[in-house]
Structure 1
Amino acid sequence: MPEIIFNADDFGLSRGVNYGIIDSHLNGVVSAATMLVNAPATKHAVELAKANPSLRVGVHLALTIGRPIRKDVLSLLNEDGAFRKQSDQRNEALINLDDVYREWSAQIELFYSYGLTPSHLDSHHHMHGWSYLRPVIERLADTYQLPWRNAFAVKPKGVSFLTDAFDARFYQAGVSEEMLDQIIAEHNQVETVEIMCHPAYIDLALKKQSSYVEKRVEETEVLTSYRLP
Protein backbone atom coordinates (compact mmCIF):
# COMPACT_ATOMS: atom_id res chain seq x y z
CA MET A 1 0.00 0.00 0.00
CA PRO A 2 1.34 3.49 -0.81
CA GLU A 3 2.01 6.17 1.76
CA ILE A 4 -1.19 8.22 1.82
CA ILE A 5 -1.45 11.93 2.54
CA PHE A 6 -4.98 13.12 3.22
CA ASN A 7 -4.71 16.84 2.56
CA ALA A 8 -7.50 19.12 3.78
CA ASP A 9 -7.96 22.18 1.58
CA ASP A 10 -9.31 25.61 2.61
CA PHE A 11 -7.73 25.89 6.07
CA GLY A 12 -8.61 29.43 7.13
CA LEU A 13 -11.82 29.73 5.12
CA SER A 14 -13.94 29.80 8.30
CA ARG A 15 -13.71 28.73 11.91
CA GLY A 16 -16.02 25.82 11.14
CA VAL A 17 -13.67 24.68 8.38
CA ASN A 18 -10.69 25.04 10.71
CA TYR A 19 -12.29 22.96 13.45
CA GLY A 20 -13.35 20.30 10.97
CA ILE A 21 -9.78 20.00 9.70
CA ILE A 22 -8.27 19.79 13.17
CA ASP A 23 -10.86 17.24 14.31
CA SER A 24 -10.17 15.15 11.19
CA HIS A 25 -6.47 15.29 12.03
CA LEU A 26 -6.59 14.57 15.75
CA ASN A 27 -9.33 11.97 15.50
CA GLY A 28 -9.04 10.79 11.90
CA VAL A 29 -6.78 10.27 8.91
CA VAL A 30 -6.03 13.85 7.81
CA SER A 31 -2.28 14.41 7.98
CA ALA A 32 -1.87 17.70 6.09
CA ALA A 33 -3.73 20.88 5.21
CA THR A 34 -3.24 23.89 3.00
CA MET A 35 -4.09 27.37 4.25
CA LEU A 36 -5.71 30.34 2.53
CA VAL A 37 -3.82 33.38 3.80
CA ASN A 38 -6.43 35.87 2.52
CA ALA A 39 -9.48 34.33 4.20
CA PRO A 40 -11.66 35.45 7.15
CA ALA A 41 -10.37 32.80 9.56
CA THR A 42 -6.69 32.74 8.55
CA LYS A 43 -5.45 34.01 11.91
CA HIS A 44 -7.52 31.33 13.67
CA ALA A 45 -5.99 28.70 11.37
CA VAL A 46 -2.50 29.97 12.23
CA GLU A 47 -3.25 29.59 15.95
CA LEU A 48 -4.51 26.04 15.40
CA ALA A 49 -1.53 25.15 13.21
CA LYS A 50 0.89 26.27 15.93
CA ALA A 51 -1.07 24.36 18.58
CA ASN A 52 -1.06 21.20 16.45
CA PRO A 53 2.46 20.84 15.00
CA SER A 54 1.78 17.22 13.97
CA LEU A 55 -0.40 18.60 11.15
CA ARG A 56 1.67 19.44 8.07
CA VAL A 57 0.49 22.81 6.77
CA GLY A 58 1.16 24.31 3.36
CA VAL A 59 -0.19 27.27 1.39
CA HIS A 60 -3.46 27.08 -0.55
CA LEU A 61 -2.66 29.77 -3.11
CA ALA A 62 -5.63 31.95 -3.97
CA LEU A 63 -6.49 33.46 -7.33
CA THR A 64 -10.25 32.92 -7.46
CA ILE A 65 -11.43 33.70 -3.91
CA GLY A 66 -11.20 36.73 -1.67
CA ARG A 67 -8.97 39.75 -2.16
CA PRO A 68 -5.27 39.92 -3.06
CA ILE A 69 -2.44 40.60 -0.65
CA ARG A 70 -0.81 43.05 -3.08
CA LYS A 71 -2.41 46.16 -4.53
CA ASP A 72 -0.50 46.20 -7.83
CA VAL A 73 -1.99 43.08 -9.49
CA LEU A 74 -4.78 44.74 -11.43
CA SER A 75 -4.95 42.09 -14.15
CA LEU A 76 -6.27 39.61 -11.58
CA LEU A 77 -9.09 41.72 -10.17
CA ASN A 78 -12.73 42.51 -10.87
CA GLU A 79 -14.27 45.98 -10.62
CA ASP A 80 -14.65 45.59 -6.85
CA GLY A 81 -10.96 44.89 -6.27
CA ALA A 82 -11.46 41.20 -5.50
CA PHE A 83 -10.17 38.23 -7.47
CA ARG A 84 -12.30 37.36 -10.48
CA LYS A 85 -14.34 34.17 -10.52
CA GLN A 86 -12.64 31.04 -11.81
CA SER A 87 -14.14 31.08 -15.33
CA ASP A 88 -12.85 34.63 -15.96
CA GLN A 89 -9.51 34.02 -14.27
CA ARG A 90 -8.75 31.24 -16.77
CA ASN A 91 -8.87 33.73 -19.65
CA GLU A 92 -5.30 34.08 -20.91
CA ALA A 93 -6.09 37.44 -22.47
CA LEU A 94 -6.82 38.93 -19.04
CA ILE A 95 -3.98 37.52 -16.95
CA ASN A 96 -0.55 39.09 -16.50
CA LEU A 97 1.84 36.35 -15.40
CA ASP A 98 4.02 38.79 -13.48
CA ASP A 99 0.95 39.75 -11.44
CA VAL A 100 0.35 36.10 -10.57
CA TYR A 101 3.98 35.64 -9.55
CA ARG A 102 3.97 38.76 -7.36
CA GLU A 103 0.68 37.87 -5.71
CA TRP A 104 1.49 34.24 -5.03
CA SER A 105 4.93 35.21 -3.74
CA ALA A 106 3.22 37.66 -1.38
CA GLN A 107 0.88 34.94 -0.13
CA ILE A 108 3.78 32.58 0.54
CA GLU A 109 5.76 35.33 2.29
CA LEU A 110 2.73 36.19 4.44
CA PHE A 111 2.52 32.55 5.53
CA TYR A 112 6.19 32.65 6.54
CA SER A 113 5.56 35.91 8.44
CA TYR A 114 3.18 34.06 10.75
CA GLY A 115 6.09 32.03 12.04
CA LEU A 116 5.17 28.94 10.03
CA THR A 117 7.18 27.08 7.41
CA PRO A 118 5.06 25.68 4.56
CA SER A 119 5.29 21.96 3.92
CA HIS A 120 4.02 22.26 0.34
CA LEU A 121 2.00 24.34 -2.10
CA ASP A 122 -1.28 23.89 -3.97
CA SER A 123 -4.06 26.24 -5.04
CA HIS A 124 -7.75 26.95 -4.74
CA HIS A 125 -9.60 25.46 -7.73
CA HIS A 126 -6.31 23.83 -8.83
CA MET A 127 -5.30 27.02 -10.64
CA HIS A 128 -1.61 26.12 -10.31
CA GLY A 129 -2.22 23.20 -12.68
CA TRP A 130 -3.46 25.48 -15.48
CA SER A 131 -0.89 25.15 -18.28
CA TYR A 132 -0.80 28.92 -18.95
CA LEU A 133 0.62 29.48 -15.45
CA ARG A 134 3.46 27.02 -15.93
CA PRO A 135 6.16 29.78 -16.11
CA VAL A 136 4.91 31.15 -12.79
CA ILE A 137 5.10 27.73 -11.15
CA GLU A 138 8.65 27.22 -12.40
CA ARG A 139 9.72 30.64 -11.02
CA LEU A 140 8.09 29.96 -7.65
CA ALA A 141 9.64 26.50 -7.49
CA ASP A 142 13.08 27.99 -8.11
CA THR A 143 12.53 30.72 -5.50
CA TYR A 144 11.03 28.68 -2.66
CA GLN A 145 12.16 25.10 -3.30
CA LEU A 146 8.87 23.69 -2.01
CA PRO A 147 6.97 20.64 -3.33
CA TRP A 148 3.69 21.13 -5.20
CA ARG A 149 0.46 19.18 -5.40
CA ASN A 150 0.90 16.83 -8.35
CA ALA A 151 -2.06 18.15 -10.35
CA PHE A 152 -0.61 19.73 -13.48
CA ALA A 153 -2.03 19.74 -17.00
CA VAL A 154 1.58 20.01 -18.24
CA LYS A 155 4.40 19.03 -15.90
CA PRO A 156 6.57 22.09 -15.17
CA LYS A 157 10.33 21.84 -15.22
CA GLY A 158 12.41 21.86 -12.05
CA VAL A 159 9.41 21.26 -9.80
CA SER A 160 9.27 18.69 -7.00
CA PHE A 161 5.96 17.03 -6.20
CA LEU A 162 4.41 16.30 -2.82
CA THR A 163 3.43 12.79 -3.96
CA ASP A 164 3.74 10.50 -6.96
CA ALA A 165 -0.02 10.63 -7.54
CA PHE A 166 -2.96 12.89 -6.69
CA ASP A 167 -6.64 11.95 -6.47
CA ALA A 168 -9.58 14.36 -6.20
CA ARG A 169 -12.46 11.88 -6.28
CA PHE A 170 -13.27 12.10 -2.56
CA TYR A 171 -15.62 15.00 -3.29
CA GLN A 172 -19.34 15.55 -3.89
CA ALA A 173 -20.89 12.16 -4.77
CA GLY A 174 -17.55 10.47 -4.09
CA VAL A 175 -17.61 11.11 -0.35
CA SER A 176 -17.66 7.60 1.10
CA GLU A 177 -15.41 5.02 2.70
CA GLU A 178 -15.92 2.85 -0.39
CA MET A 179 -14.41 5.57 -2.58
CA LEU A 180 -11.39 5.83 -0.30
CA ASP A 181 -10.90 2.07 -0.52
CA GLN A 182 -11.12 2.30 -4.32
CA ILE A 183 -8.65 5.18 -4.55
CA ILE A 184 -6.09 3.43 -2.40
CA ALA A 185 -6.47 0.16 -4.30
CA GLU A 186 -6.06 1.84 -7.68
CA HIS A 187 -2.83 3.59 -6.61
CA ASN A 188 -1.10 0.50 -5.26
CA GLN A 189 1.69 0.79 -7.84
CA VAL A 190 3.00 4.14 -6.57
CA GLU A 191 4.91 4.95 -3.39
CA THR A 192 2.92 8.03 -2.37
CA VAL A 193 -0.55 9.41 -3.11
CA GLU A 194 -2.35 12.55 -2.00
CA ILE A 195 -6.11 12.40 -1.45
CA MET A 196 -7.80 15.79 -1.47
CA CYS A 197 -10.48 16.43 1.14
CA HIS A 198 -12.56 19.29 2.55
CA PRO A 199 -13.66 18.50 6.11
CA ALA A 200 -15.60 21.19 7.98
CA TYR A 201 -18.39 22.04 10.35
CA ILE A 202 -20.96 24.41 8.89
CA ASP A 203 -21.01 28.04 9.96
CA LEU A 204 -22.32 31.25 8.42
CA ALA A 205 -18.94 32.25 7.00
CA LEU A 206 -18.70 28.98 5.09
CA LYS A 207 -22.21 29.39 3.67
CA LYS A 208 -21.33 32.89 2.46
CA GLN A 209 -18.15 31.86 0.68
CA SER A 210 -18.70 28.39 -0.74
CA SER A 211 -21.28 26.39 -2.64
CA TYR A 212 -19.76 23.19 -1.23
CA VAL A 213 -21.21 23.12 2.27
CA GLU A 214 -23.23 20.14 3.54
CA LYS A 215 -20.92 17.56 2.00
CA ARG A 216 -18.04 18.91 4.05
CA VAL A 217 -19.72 17.63 7.21
CA GLU A 218 -20.12 14.23 5.59
CA GLU A 219 -16.41 14.32 4.75
CA THR A 220 -15.60 15.03 8.40
CA GLU A 221 -17.66 12.06 9.50
CA VAL A 222 -15.97 9.74 7.01
CA LEU A 223 -12.46 11.02 7.69
CA THR A 224 -12.84 10.61 11.46
CA SER A 225 -14.26 7.08 11.21
CA TYR A 226 -12.21 5.66 8.31
CA ARG A 227 -9.49 3.16 9.03
CA LEU A 228 -6.78 2.52 6.46
CA PRO A 229 -6.74 -0.99 4.93
Structure 2
Amino acid sequence: MKLIVNADDFGYSKGVNLGIVEAHVEGIVTSATTMMNMPGVEHAFRLAAENPKLGMGIHLVLTCGAPLESHVPTLTDSSGKFCRGQAHLEDVSPEEVEREFTAQLERFFRMGRRPTHIDSHHHVHAREAILPIVLRLAERHSLPVRYPWAFETERGEHTPKVRTTESFSARFYGDDVSVESLIGIIDGLSGSSSAEIMSHPAYVDEELLTGSSYARQRTRELQILTAPEVKEYIKQKRVQLVTFNEIG
Protein backbone atom coordinates (compact mmCIF):
# COMPACT_ATOMS: atom_id res chain seq x y z
CA MET A 1 0.00 0.00 0.00
CA LYS A 2 1.09 3.54 -0.77
CA LEU A 3 0.28 5.68 2.26
CA ILE A 4 0.19 9.47 2.50
CA VAL A 5 0.23 10.85 6.03
CA ASN A 6 -0.79 14.48 5.59
CA ALA A 7 -0.44 17.19 8.24
CA ASP A 8 -3.15 19.82 7.87
CA ASP A 9 -2.82 23.52 8.81
CA PHE A 10 0.76 24.19 7.66
CA GLY A 11 1.11 27.97 7.87
CA TYR A 12 -1.30 28.41 10.78
CA SER A 13 1.52 29.47 13.12
CA LYS A 14 5.20 28.85 13.75
CA GLY A 15 4.38 26.26 16.43
CA VAL A 16 2.21 24.33 14.00
CA ASN A 17 4.85 24.56 11.29
CA LEU A 18 7.65 23.32 13.54
CA GLY A 19 5.54 20.42 14.78
CA ILE A 20 4.70 19.37 11.25
CA VAL A 21 8.33 19.43 10.16
CA GLU A 22 9.38 17.38 13.18
CA ALA A 23 6.62 14.85 12.42
CA HIS A 24 8.09 14.61 8.92
CA VAL A 25 11.79 14.44 9.81
CA GLU A 26 11.43 12.20 12.87
CA GLY A 27 8.18 10.43 12.06
CA ILE A 28 5.83 9.24 9.34
CA VAL A 29 4.33 12.48 7.99
CA THR A 30 5.03 12.72 4.27
CA SER A 31 2.90 15.66 3.25
CA ALA A 32 1.43 18.92 4.53
CA THR A 33 -1.25 21.29 3.29
CA THR A 34 -0.82 25.02 3.61
CA MET A 35 -3.28 27.73 4.69
CA MET A 36 -2.36 30.59 2.39
CA ASN A 37 -4.27 33.22 4.41
CA MET A 38 -2.64 32.59 7.79
CA PRO A 39 0.26 34.47 9.44
CA GLY A 40 2.71 31.56 9.47
CA VAL A 41 2.57 30.87 5.75
CA GLU A 42 5.92 32.42 4.78
CA HIS A 43 7.62 30.56 7.63
CA ALA A 44 6.02 27.35 6.33
CA PHE A 45 7.45 27.89 2.86
CA ARG A 46 10.93 28.50 4.28
CA LEU A 47 10.75 25.27 6.29
CA ALA A 48 9.45 23.37 3.26
CA ALA A 49 12.42 24.60 1.19
CA GLU A 50 14.73 23.13 3.84
CA ASN A 51 12.86 19.80 3.74
CA PRO A 52 12.36 19.00 0.05
CA LYS A 53 11.00 15.49 0.65
CA LEU A 54 7.92 16.93 2.39
CA GLY A 55 5.03 17.11 -0.05
CA MET A 56 3.34 20.51 0.08
CA GLY A 57 -0.26 20.95 -0.97
CA ILE A 58 -2.82 23.69 -0.41
CA HIS A 59 -5.38 23.73 2.41
CA LEU A 60 -8.21 25.85 0.98
CA VAL A 61 -9.84 28.00 3.66
CA LEU A 62 -13.32 29.49 4.13
CA THR A 63 -13.73 29.25 7.90
CA CYS A 64 -10.57 30.63 9.55
CA GLY A 65 -8.71 33.93 9.40
CA ALA A 66 -9.41 36.53 6.73
CA PRO A 67 -9.89 36.11 2.98
CA LEU A 68 -7.29 37.15 0.44
CA GLU A 69 -9.99 38.70 -1.75
CA SER A 70 -11.25 42.13 -0.68
CA HIS A 71 -14.97 41.84 -1.51
CA VAL A 72 -16.53 38.49 -0.61
CA PRO A 73 -19.47 39.56 1.61
CA THR A 74 -21.21 36.17 1.72
CA LEU A 75 -18.05 34.65 3.20
CA THR A 76 -17.23 37.25 5.85
CA ASP A 77 -18.55 38.75 9.08
CA SER A 78 -18.72 42.42 10.08
CA SER A 79 -14.99 42.48 10.87
CA GLY A 80 -14.03 41.27 7.40
CA LYS A 81 -12.91 37.84 8.59
CA PHE A 82 -14.31 34.52 7.47
CA CYS A 83 -17.45 33.56 9.36
CA ARG A 84 -16.79 30.92 11.99
CA GLY A 85 -18.46 27.54 11.69
CA GLN A 86 -20.08 26.32 8.51
CA ALA A 87 -23.71 27.46 8.71
CA HIS A 88 -22.98 30.39 6.38
CA LEU A 89 -21.74 28.01 3.70
CA GLU A 90 -25.34 27.07 2.91
CA ASP A 91 -25.86 30.47 1.28
CA VAL A 92 -22.46 31.54 -0.02
CA SER A 93 -21.96 32.93 -3.48
CA PRO A 94 -20.27 30.29 -5.69
CA GLU A 95 -18.61 33.12 -7.60
CA GLU A 96 -17.08 34.49 -4.39
CA VAL A 97 -15.90 31.02 -3.35
CA GLU A 98 -14.21 30.49 -6.70
CA ARG A 99 -12.54 33.91 -6.61
CA GLU A 100 -11.24 33.31 -3.09
CA PHE A 101 -9.99 29.81 -3.82
CA THR A 102 -8.33 31.09 -7.00
CA ALA A 103 -6.61 33.85 -4.99
CA GLN A 104 -5.31 31.30 -2.50
CA LEU A 105 -4.00 29.08 -5.29
CA GLU A 106 -2.40 32.02 -7.07
CA ARG A 107 -0.59 33.08 -3.91
CA PHE A 108 0.79 29.55 -3.60
CA PHE A 109 2.12 29.70 -7.16
CA ARG A 110 3.62 33.15 -6.52
CA MET A 111 5.61 31.65 -3.65
CA GLY A 112 7.51 29.71 -6.30
CA ARG A 113 6.07 26.24 -5.82
CA ARG A 114 3.42 24.03 -7.34
CA PRO A 115 1.07 22.36 -4.83
CA THR A 116 1.14 18.58 -4.72
CA HIS A 117 -2.62 18.48 -4.18
CA ILE A 118 -5.73 20.23 -2.86
CA ASP A 119 -7.66 19.70 0.35
CA SER A 120 -9.50 22.09 2.66
CA HIS A 121 -9.88 23.36 6.19
CA HIS A 122 -12.85 21.71 7.95
CA HIS A 123 -13.40 19.63 4.78
CA VAL A 124 -15.34 22.42 3.07
CA HIS A 125 -14.31 21.04 -0.33
CA ALA A 126 -16.60 18.06 0.29
CA ARG A 127 -19.75 20.19 0.57
CA GLU A 128 -22.16 19.66 -2.29
CA ALA A 129 -22.18 23.31 -3.39
CA ILE A 130 -18.39 23.72 -3.14
CA LEU A 131 -17.05 20.43 -4.48
CA PRO A 132 -17.70 21.26 -8.17
CA ILE A 133 -15.68 24.47 -7.78
CA VAL A 134 -12.74 22.61 -6.24
CA LEU A 135 -12.86 19.85 -8.85
CA ARG A 136 -12.92 22.45 -11.62
CA LEU A 137 -9.84 24.18 -10.18
CA ALA A 138 -8.11 20.83 -9.69
CA GLU A 139 -8.79 19.84 -13.27
CA ARG A 140 -7.63 23.24 -14.55
CA HIS A 141 -4.29 22.92 -12.76
CA SER A 142 -3.97 19.12 -13.06
CA LEU A 143 -3.85 18.67 -9.28
CA PRO A 144 -4.99 15.71 -7.15
CA VAL A 145 -7.68 16.27 -4.51
CA ARG A 146 -8.14 14.75 -1.07
CA TYR A 147 -10.78 12.05 -1.42
CA PRO A 148 -13.96 14.07 -0.78
CA TRP A 149 -16.54 11.30 -1.00
CA ALA A 150 -15.64 10.04 2.48
CA PHE A 151 -17.61 12.95 3.89
CA GLU A 152 -21.07 14.09 2.80
CA THR A 153 -21.07 13.94 -0.99
CA GLU A 154 -21.37 11.13 -3.48
CA ARG A 155 -19.39 10.60 -6.63
CA GLY A 156 -21.56 11.89 -9.45
CA GLU A 157 -21.81 10.89 -13.08
CA HIS A 158 -20.21 14.15 -14.20
CA THR A 159 -17.31 14.17 -11.74
CA PRO A 160 -14.19 15.42 -13.54
CA LYS A 161 -11.34 12.97 -13.72
CA VAL A 162 -9.10 14.19 -10.91
CA ARG A 163 -6.57 12.02 -9.13
CA THR A 164 -7.15 10.99 -5.55
CA THR A 165 -6.34 8.13 -3.23
CA GLU A 166 -8.42 4.98 -3.15
CA SER A 167 -9.12 5.47 0.57
CA PHE A 168 -9.00 8.23 3.17
CA SER A 169 -9.23 8.34 6.96
CA ALA A 170 -9.99 11.29 9.24
CA ARG A 171 -10.09 9.06 12.33
CA PHE A 172 -6.68 10.09 13.68
CA TYR A 173 -8.19 13.06 15.50
CA GLY A 174 -9.51 13.87 18.95
CA ASP A 175 -8.78 13.26 22.60
CA ASP A 176 -8.38 9.49 22.33
CA VAL A 177 -5.65 9.12 19.69
CA SER A 178 -2.95 6.60 20.57
CA VAL A 179 -0.22 4.51 19.02
CA GLU A 180 -2.64 1.60 19.00
CA SER A 181 -5.41 3.56 17.32
CA LEU A 182 -3.08 4.83 14.59
CA ILE A 183 -1.79 1.32 13.91
CA GLY A 184 -5.41 0.17 13.74
CA ILE A 185 -6.22 2.88 11.19
CA ILE A 186 -3.26 1.91 9.02
CA ASP A 187 -4.23 -1.75 9.27
CA GLY A 188 -7.80 -0.92 8.25
CA LEU A 189 -6.58 0.83 5.11
CA SER A 190 -4.23 -1.97 4.09
CA GLY A 191 -6.60 -3.37 1.48
CA SER A 192 -6.27 -0.19 -0.59
CA SER A 193 -3.60 0.41 -3.18
CA SER A 194 -3.33 4.03 -2.01
CA ALA A 195 -4.63 5.79 1.08
CA GLU A 196 -4.34 9.03 3.04
CA ILE A 197 -4.47 9.65 6.77
CA MET A 198 -5.20 13.17 7.98
CA SER A 199 -3.22 14.47 10.97
CA HIS A 200 -2.63 17.70 12.91
CA PRO A 201 0.76 17.59 14.69
CA ALA A 202 2.02 20.80 16.28
CA TYR A 203 3.79 22.52 19.09
CA VAL A 204 1.32 24.68 20.98
CA ASP A 205 2.10 28.39 20.73
CA GLU A 206 0.03 31.44 21.63
CA GLU A 207 -1.59 31.68 18.21
CA LEU A 208 -2.78 28.10 18.30
CA LEU A 209 -3.83 28.17 21.95
CA THR A 210 -5.99 31.26 21.51
CA GLY A 211 -7.20 30.60 17.97
CA SER A 212 -8.12 26.91 17.81
CA SER A 213 -10.30 24.63 19.90
CA TYR A 214 -8.03 21.77 18.83
CA ALA A 215 -4.69 22.72 20.34
CA ARG A 216 -3.16 20.57 23.09
CA GLN A 217 -4.29 17.38 21.32
CA ARG A 218 -1.87 18.22 18.53
CA THR A 219 1.15 17.67 20.76
CA ARG A 220 -0.18 14.16 21.46
CA GLU A 221 -0.51 13.57 17.72
CA LEU A 222 3.11 14.68 17.26
CA GLN A 223 4.27 12.21 19.90
CA ILE A 224 2.38 9.34 18.24
CA LEU A 225 3.44 10.19 14.68
CA THR A 226 7.10 10.02 15.75
CA ALA A 227 6.73 6.93 17.97
CA PRO A 228 9.24 4.13 17.26
CA GLU A 229 6.44 1.53 17.46
CA VAL A 230 4.56 3.19 14.59
CA LYS A 231 7.64 3.43 12.41
CA GLU A 232 8.49 -0.20 13.10
CA TYR A 233 4.96 -1.34 12.25
CA ILE A 234 5.10 0.45 8.90
CA LYS A 235 8.45 -1.12 8.16
CA GLN A 236 7.23 -4.62 9.06
CA LYS A 237 4.08 -4.26 6.96
CA ARG A 238 6.08 -2.84 4.05
CA VAL A 239 3.84 0.21 3.81
CA GLN A 240 5.28 2.65 1.29
CA LEU A 241 5.18 6.20 2.64
CA VAL A 242 4.60 8.61 -0.27
CA THR A 243 3.26 12.00 -1.28
CA PHE A 244 0.48 12.83 -3.76
CA ASN A 245 3.14 13.08 -6.44
CA GLU A 246 3.51 9.32 -6.29
CA ILE A 247 -0.08 8.16 -6.68
CA GLY A 248 -1.51 7.13 -10.02
Q: Give your verdict on TM over 0.5.
A: yes
1:5 and 1:174, CA in 2 relative to 1: closer, same or farther beyond 3 A? farther
Q: CA RMSD in A?
A: 1.3
State the TM-score, normalizing by the size of structure 2.
Answer: 0.88
> Equivalent residue for 2:70?
71
> Equivalent residue for 2:207?
205
Matched to 1:10, the amino acid is: D
Matched to 1:53, the amino acid is: P
Conserved 8 A contact 2:6-2:199: yes
Runs of 4+ in 1 over 6 A off after TM superposition: none
Amino-acid identity (%): 39
1:142 and 1:3, CA in 2 relative to 1: closer, same or farther beyond 3 A? closer
Number of residues paired by the alignment?
Answer: 226
Conserved 8 A contact 1:147-1:159: no
Conserved 8 A contact 2:139-2:162: no
Structure 1 residue matching 2:99: 3-state secondary structure: helix
1:12 and 1:212, CA in 2 relative to 1: closer, same or farther beyond 3 A? same
- Offset of 1:68 from its aligned partner? 0.5
> Equivalent residue for 2:42?
43
Q: Deviations over 1:86-121 (max 9, x none)?
A: 232332xx2000110110011011001001110000
The 2-side partners of 1:18 and 1:139 are apart by: 29
> Equivalent residue for 2:32?
33
- Offset of 1:151 from its aligned partner? 2.3
Conserved 8 A contact 2:136-2:160: no
Matched to 1:109, the amino acid is: E
The 1-side partners of 2:124 and 2:161 are apart by: 16
Conserved 8 A contact 2:34-2:56: yes
- Offset of 1:178 from its aligned partner? 1.1
- Offset of 1:176 from its aligned partner? 1.1
> Equivalent residue for 2:109?
112
Structure 1 residue matching 2:129: 3-state secondary structure: helix
Conserved 8 A contact 1:172-1:215: yes
- Offset of 1:79 from its aligned partner? 1.0
The 2-side partners of 1:188 and 1:165 are apart by: 10
- Offset of 1:174 from its aligned partner? 4.1
The 1-side partners of 2:211 and 2:45 are apart by: 20
Gaps of 5+ in 1: none
- Offset of 1:183 from its aligned partner? 1.2
- Offset of 1:163 from its aligned partner? 1.2
Matched to 2:41, the amino acid is: T
Q: Deviations over 1:119-171 (max 9, x none)?
A: 00000000000112132123212321100000232236114233111101111
State the TM-score, normalizing by the size of structure 1.
Answer: 0.95
The 2-side partners of 1:216 and 1:45 are apart by: 17
Structure 2 residue matching 1:16: 3-state secondary structure: helix
The 1-side partners of 2:81 and 2:2 are apart by: 38
> Equivalent residue for 2:243?
none
Conserved 8 A contact 1:129-1:154: no
Moved more, 152-161 or 106-115: 152-161
Matched to 2:121, the amino acid is: H
> Equivalent residue for 1:10?
9
The 2-side partners of 1:134 and 1:45 are apart by: 26
